[in-house]
Amino acid sequence: MFVEGVFDGTAVRPLKSLDLLPNQRVFIDIPTRKFSQEERQKINEKIEAVNGIFGMLSPTEEKIFDEVIADRLNFHERVTL
């Protein structure tokens, strides 16, 4: 699952509601590099292009897809909540 959120100075808040249980453990990838506006646009276009196929992927395939995307974008620094 890919979730976009913002850090409010205290906690990371998702931009959309999530179907998670209270106190469910989650892992958050924090990008370690800054992307230019042009890079962000290209990334967003690619994400939107693949969002249409997510209904066709199994949960295992979605997990693998998320891992590949994170690896290609160099999201290696993990923060455990």
pLDDT in tens, 14-52: 988 888 898 888 888 876 777 788 888 888 788 777 776
pLDDT, residue 80, reads 46
What share of the chain in percent tops pLDDT 90?
A: 0
List the structure tokens of 41.
């646009």
pLDDT at 77 exceeding the cut of 70: no
* pLDDT-based confidence at residue 81 (cuts at 50, 70, 90): very low
Q: Are 73 and 43 in contact (CB under 8 A)?
A: yes
Q: pLDDT averaged over the chain?
A: 78
CB-based contacts of 80, cutoff 8 Å, min separation 6: 27
10 Å Cβ neighbour count for 29? 19
